Amino acid sequence: MPGCVFVPTMGALHEGHAALIRKGAELARHRGRACIVSIFVNPTQFNERSDFERYPKTLEADVALCREAGAEAVFAPSVEVMYPDERSAPVPVLPRVAVEPGLEDRFRPGHFAGVCQVVLRLFRLVRPAAAVFGEKDWQQLRVVAAMTREQGLPIEIIGHETIRDPDGLAMSSRNRFLSAVEREAALAIPRALHAARRARTATEAETAMAGVLSGVDVEYAVVRDAQTLANVGNGPARALIAARVGRTRLIDNAAWSP
- Return the residue nearest ligand AMP (CB atom): 134
- Residue 173 as a binder of ligand AMP (CB under 6 A): the answer is yes
Query: In this chain, which stretch among 29-37, 87-95, 160-168, 234-242 interacts with ligand AMP, using CB under 6 A?
Result: 160-168
The closest alpha carbon to 240, from 107, 118, 70, belongs to 107
14 class by beta-carbon count within 10 Å (0-12 exposed, 13-18 middle, 19+ buried): middle
Of positions 171, 226, 229, 237, contacts ligand AMP by CB under 6 A = 171
- Residue 148 as a binder of ligand AMP (CB under 6 A): the answer is no
17 carries an active-site annotation: yes
208 class by beta-carbon count within 10 Å (0-12 exposed, 13-18 middle, 19+ buried): buried
Return d(Cα 216, Cα 183) in angstroms, integer.
11
Minimum Å gap between C-beta 101 and ligand AMP is 17
Query: In this chain, which stretch among 12-20, 88-96, 177-185, 240-248 interacts with ligand AMP, using CB under 6 A?
Result: 12-20
- Residue 252 as a binder of ligand AMP (CB under 6 A): the answer is no
Judged by beta carbon, residue 108 or residue 206, the one nearer ligand AMP is 108
- Residue 163 as a binder of ligand AMP (CB under 6 A): the answer is yes
- Residue 27 as a binder of ligand AMP (CB under 6 A): the answer is no
* Alpha carbons within 13 A on the beta-carbon side of 37: 29
Query: In this chain, which stretch among 62-70, 128-136, 179-187, 220-228 interacts with ligand AMP, using CB under 6 A?
Result: 128-136
186: left (phi over 0), alpha (psi -120 to 50) or beta: alpha
The closest alpha carbon to 9, from 126, 134, 177, 111, belongs to 134
Q: Looking at 17, 30, 111, 194, which residue is catalytic?
A: 17
Q: Which residues are catalytic?
A: 17
